[in-house]
């Protein structure tokens, strides 16, 4: 990574009526919003810091830190419920009418929901795992179960088990990654927020509420998605099994799918170069006349 693209040099703040949103900015050109996933110690910077330099050659990259994950100001809402509103508030605050969006896992779901609700604001959409629903594989997946176990009983060993479920190659999980994730994941405020999302009681309550809801789930509305979409996935994903991709692949009107071999949930990390090439080709491709 070029020396200038450090955590400190790219960090920005945007004051909003619901607290400060922090983000990282790099590059010039069309705006590219990058939304992170969830899980212990996650941040937008940790999801995308390895990709930022390459994308910054083509785009004004904006890596938003969602409220409730320990970087932006906290939220009283359930962090997943607050994320979509935060993304729109962020775009409004920066005066951006339309952006391309990359979303990892939860961030992909949020990006999809924003694109469904505000179709004119998302030109092209890239998702990394996570969207859709399990078709053949049981739910929740192995990685989600380990995430729930860690959230209920946060131990260093539990964190390592969860991190290993995120990747195909265990060498990806370094001591540095473990240490920085552990520090953030065990921060009292961040841990309390995580329990609202992934504690076993919270997950059971969410499943019960969804079963009783009259509102269709977002994945049942994908036929209304206007944005050109690229779905990217790790073939060996143990968090969001690759068969989840089948519903979006069939129902999103303008969609292409790229599946990367020998790759777990963090496609942008484990298949960094190949993923970046595929995404840049998609985002910079000229629209058909």
- Separation between Cα atoms, residue 34 and residue 46, nearest integer Å: 12
3-state helix, strand, coil in the chain (%, to 5): 45, 20, 35
The total of other beta-carbon atoms located within 10 Å of residue 130's CB is 24
- Separation between Cα atoms, residue 73 and residue 21, nearest integer Å: 6
Question: Which residues are part of the catalytic machinery?
Answer: 265
Question: What Rg value do the Cα atoms of the chain yield, rounded?
Answer: 18
DSSP string, 7-35: HHHHEEEEEEBTEEEEEEEE--SSEEEEE
- Separation between Cα atoms, residue 133 and residue 122, nearest integer Å: 22
Of 225, 231, 33, give the one whose Cα is nearest residue 116. Answer: 225
Tokens of 23: 């983000």
Side-by-side strand order, sheet with 60-64: 11-16, 19-26, 60-64, 31-35, 99-104, 122-128, 228-234, 255-260
């Amino acid at each position: 990574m070029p020396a200038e693209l450090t955590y400190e040099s790219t960090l920005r703040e945007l004051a909003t009526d619901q607290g400060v949103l922090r983000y990282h900015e790099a590059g010039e050109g069309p705006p590219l919003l990058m939304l992170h996933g969830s899980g212990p110690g996650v941040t937008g910077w940790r999801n995308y810091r390895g990709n930022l330099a390459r994308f910054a050659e083509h785009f004004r990259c904006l890596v938003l830190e969602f409220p409730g994950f320990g970087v932006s100001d906290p939220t009283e809402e359930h962090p997943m419920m607050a994320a979509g509103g935060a993304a729109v508030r962020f775009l409004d605050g920066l005066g951006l009418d339309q952006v391309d969006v990359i979303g990892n896992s939860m961030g992909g779901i949020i990006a999809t929901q924003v694109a469904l609700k505000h179709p004119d604001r998302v030109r092209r959409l890239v998702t990394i795992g996570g969207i859709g629903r399990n078709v053949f594989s049981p739910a929740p997946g192995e990685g989600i179960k380990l995430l729930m176990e860690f959230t209920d009983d946060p131990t260093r060993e539990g964190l390592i088990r969860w991190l290993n479920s995120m990747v195909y190659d265990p060498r990806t999980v370094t001591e540095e990654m473990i240490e920085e994730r552990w520090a953030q994941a065990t921060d009292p405020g961040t841990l309390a927020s995580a329990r609202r999302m992934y504690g076993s009681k919270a997950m059971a309550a969410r499943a019960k509420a969804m079963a009783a809801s009259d509102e269709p789930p977002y994945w049942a509305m994908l036929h209304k998605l206007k944005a050109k979409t690229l779905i990217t996935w790790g073939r060996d994903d143990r968090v969001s099994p690759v068969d989840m991709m089948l519903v979006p692949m069939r129902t999103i009107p303008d969609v292409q799918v790229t599946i990367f071999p020998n790759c777990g949930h963090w496609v942008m990390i484990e298949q960094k170069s190949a993923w970046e090439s595929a995404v840049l080709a998609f985002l910079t491709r000229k629209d058909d006349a």
